[in-house]
Amino acid sequence: MKTKVEVVLRNIGQLLTMDSGDDGLGDEGKDPIAGLGLTLDAALAMGGGKVLWSGKESELENQLDFKGAEIVDVGGRVVMPGLVDCHTHSVFAGSRAQEFSRRVGGASYEEILAAGGGIHSTVNATRAAGIEILVATAKTRLDRFLSFGVTTVEIKSGYGLELGTELKMLKAAQEVDRIHPVDVIPTLLAAHVIPKEYKKDRNSYIGLITKEILPRVAQDGLARFCDVFCDQGAFTIEESRLILQEGKKHGLVPRIHGEQLSRSGSVALAVELDASSIDHLENASEQDARLLASSNTVAVLLPGATYFLGKKDFADGRTLADAGCKVAVSTDFNPGSSHTENLPLMMNMACLYNHLYPREALLSTTKWAADALRMGDSIGTLRPGAKADVLVLDLRDYRTFIYHFGVNHTHKVYKNGALVYTRQIA
Ligand code: NIG
Ligand code: FE
């Protein structure tokens, strides 16, 4: 039986499906629109939580039986897929505002971490917090993500560094997924740093991860991915390989925080393990770019982290994109190195500092971010059959989305075909 059309968005000035089709605007220069699936004067039909049809509005009547559907005139606005934030640390307790002041005063992130602050201070606060607080604060953060047009958010654990608190964080992520319209995709990051109590015995902590935390998380179905912070002050290549291989045995897809603070060689490890993504990449080389381009691993850029750490060594997104890599962009939302839910702002930074073209930045938070989560079949595009996660922008020209930066352009958001957010104008 054909799915019934429930909602039709009509009078769409510019529809971006991130799929096939392209009505060029004619002045894109070096930034071709190929890949955005741009249709001018378009309509989009949804039903059963999915996209059913999109195309020229003039073809709507011939193509579709939409009797009884709700018809929404979007007033010539831009419509595109809901954004996907593929790398966040949105469950945690406490604040690092004081650390921010210290960093502004000259202390480095690495120094603060080595002296037992940074991630360790969030670990203390998160261990002490009840699950209700973790859920309530994460829910507020998802509200903010949604207000910026984000409909899927990956969330990592990693502020527990012991079985009980890692489970508590992942259960908080599961609960917030249940009560909030934004979809949450959970990742185990027990290998974030070595906890203080294991400083002199790192192998025992790695044993705890591989023998206790991973099996339990997998058994309880609490995570899809296993991530490792493979960097100076965190885990070595050998340790990362061991943890990620063990995760794979338990069905968790590998991901890596790599090449951020130092050069570790983690791109080769990501490719070797068929990781879904390698994230950060400030210290990646041209050879790394070629290697990644030949793999299934998505390069995730986190310009907010470089910016917020007051550094200038932004990842070379241009080289990665020119080599043919799938390049995603994410907020890396967390209390220490990137404290913002504003994903559109990251697209602006990705253009100016990672040197992506605006077209690539639009794909980096939709189609390629979905690929980093191995969810390209269901989210990140508006092709028929995809989830009807739809962002209506209060804009007539999609190019203004990235160009007019630091403000919120969201007009409405649909999740699984249902209206979940309307921007209130004061
Ligand atoms: O992605 N690189 C390691 N982890 C986070 C930072 C977490 C924190 O400082 O609390 C990141 O930048
Ligand atoms: Fe991160």
Mark whether 258 and 169 lie in a shared domain.
Answer: yes
Smallest-distance ligand from the CA of 309: 1
C-alpha dihedral sign at 137, 141, 144, 150: negative
Ligand 1 centroid vs 157 CA: distance in angstroms? 11
Smallest-distance ligand from the CA of 158: 1
Reported as a single tens digit per residue, the pLDDT across 245-262 is: 999 999 999 999 999 999
Residue of 33, 50, 84, 31 lying closest to 371 (CA atoms): 84
Mark whether 268 and 389 lie in a shared domain.
Answer: no
Average pLDDT over residues 309-326: 96
Ligand 1: atom nearest CA of 335 is 10
Reported as a single tens digit per residue, the pLDDT across 50-79 is: 999 999 999 999 988 999 999 999 999 999
Mark whether 240 and 298 lie in a shared domain.
Answer: yes
Ligand 2 centroid vs 258 CA: distance in angstroms? 10
Three-state SS at 71:
strand
For 261, which DSSP code?
S
**Residue from 88, 89, 279 to probe ligand 1 pocket by mutation (most atoms less than 8 Å from CB):** 89
Mark whether 76 and 96 lie in a shared domain.
Answer: no
Residues 6+ apart with CB under 8 A from 204: 198
CA torsion angle for 85, 222, 210, 192 (degrees, to 10)? 30
Ligand 1: atom nearest CA of 92 is 10
What whole-number distance in Å separates Cα of residue 89 and Cα of residue 154? Answer: 8
Question: Is residue 41 one of the residues assigned to a domain?
Answer: yes
Ligand 1: list residues with CB < 6 Å.
89, 118-119, 122, 229, 257, 260, 305, 332, 334-337
Tokens of 79: 């419509």
Question: Is residue 2 one of the residues assigned to a domain?
Answer: no
Question: Is residue 1 one of the residues assigned to a domain?
Answer: no
Q: Provide the domain count of the chain.
A: 2
Mark whether 19 and 122 lie in a shared domain.
Answer: no
Amino acid at site 68: G
Mark whether 56 and 93 lie in a shared domain.
Answer: no
Question: Is residue 313 one of the residues assigned to a domain?
Answer: yes
pLDDT band at 384 (very low <50, low <70, confident <90, very high): very high
Ligand 1: atom nearest CA of 96 is 10
What whole-number distance in Å separates Cα of residue 82 and Cα of residue 214? Answer: 31
- The answer to whether 7 and 46 have CB atoms below 8 angstroms apart is yes
Reported as a single tens digit per residue, the pLDDT across 117-176 is: 999 999 999 999 999 999 999 999 999 999 999 999 999 999 999 999 999 999 999 999
Question: Is residue 27 one of the residues assigned to a domain?
Answer: yes
Mark whether 278 and 137 lie in a shared domain.
Answer: yes
Task: Identify the domain containing residue 121 by its residue range.
Answer: 84-372
C-alpha dihedral sign at 233, 237, 243, 247: positive
**pTM, two decimal places:** 0.97
Reported as a single tens digit per residue, the pLDDT across 258-268 is: 999 999 999 99
pLDDT band at 35 (very low <50, low <70, confident <90, very high): confident
Mark whether 312 and 391 lie in a shared domain.
Answer: no
Q: Which of 372, 391, 414 is the last residue of a domain?
A: 372
Question: Is residue 125 one of the residues assigned to a domain?
Answer: yes
Mark whether 412 and 363 lie in a shared domain.
Answer: no
Mark whether 22 and 72 lie in a shared domain.
Answer: yes
Mean pLDDT, the chain, whole residue set: 95
Phi, psi of 363 (to 5 degrees): -70, -25
Residue of 85, 181, 171, 97 lying closest to 139 (CA atoms): 181
For helices 131-147 and 163-179, give the axis angle rounded to 10 degrees. Answer: 50
What pLDDT sits at residue 21?
55
Question: Is residue 356 one of the residues assigned to a domain?
Answer: yes
* CATH (domain of 58): 2.30.40.10
Mark whether 43 and 178 lie in a shared domain.
Answer: no
What whole-number distance in Å separates Cα of residue 178 and Cα of residue 160? Answer: 22
Mark whether 343 and 405 lie in a shared domain.
Answer: no
Question: Is residue 276 one of the residues assigned to a domain?
Answer: yes
